[in-house]
Structure 1
Amino acid sequence: MIVIHVLRTYVLSEDMDFEVLGLFSFIPGRYDPSAEFHLPGGLGAELWTFVTYAFLHANWMHLGINLVWMLAFATPVARRFGTPRFLAFFAATAAAGAAAHLVTHTDAMVPMIGASASISGFMAAAVRFAFAPGASLSG
């Protein structure tokens, strides 16, 4: 996430960054069959943006706050799940957040970015571990 934000902030032009947002942020209006506009990425973007939006952030504060919360809640989940399951859980919770946003903002054209949905999933999993009988947050 940090590398992506560095590239977007310091390497890409404003036009290229706008293109990245069009390709990888989650935009509910993309799924409106009656829309008279076309966003970049086609069918692929209709699929991958359910997860890729979670790697984009609006600014350094947005990224920093998400990373702090990820450190707090994702660490115990990663220790307990292992890398493959952790990454699958990250993707699943990001997709669930995008799906919820799509249902509540059907034709919105504002890009959704940030890892908050996945962080909420990590928080839920960490709390579940913390309150399970005999469970440990450290794995």
Structure 2
Amino acid sequence: MRGKYQQGSIKSKIEKPFEQVWESVIDLIAETGVSVKMIDRSSGLIIADVASFAGLLSYEDTKGNLTNPAAYIAVERISSEFPSSVARYQASAIWNMRVKAIGDNTTILSVNLHSIRIEKAVLPLNGQSTGNFEKMLIDEIVDGVE
């Protein structure tokens, strides 16, 4: 893949206490119905179950730019003709989040999308996070902090 994609977590420093950020995270999970494998308040760690990202994929054009810049997952393109469309492919991935107090009124929020699998492909295709999903989650949580 030609483009530069997200490697590791996206982190955001939030000038709010841990409790307020944690409540916003829990509210978001409850409101969206995300299936969660683990929530550990003491460590601030949340691990989601495998989630579908169908319809949220894009591949690169010949210059290495995503055909859909808003996509959450960039799909490898083997040649200029293949794949011709990502519409028939599905992707799944796991995301985790860490909420960590670094002071009385400061919290670090980290989100990581990983274990990306492209499904229904004739040939194995690689996928990488564009960072858009992680940024969207962080923005939603920050907006929900009172």
Q: Aligning the two structures, in what range does the TM-score lie when normalised by the shorter sequence?
A: under 0.3
Provide TM-score, normalisation by structure 1. Answer: 0.26
Query: Relative to total residues, which structure has the larger helix share, 1 or 2?
Result: 1
Structure with the higher fraction of residues in strand conformation:
2
Q: TM-score, with normalisation over the residues of structure 2? A: 0.25
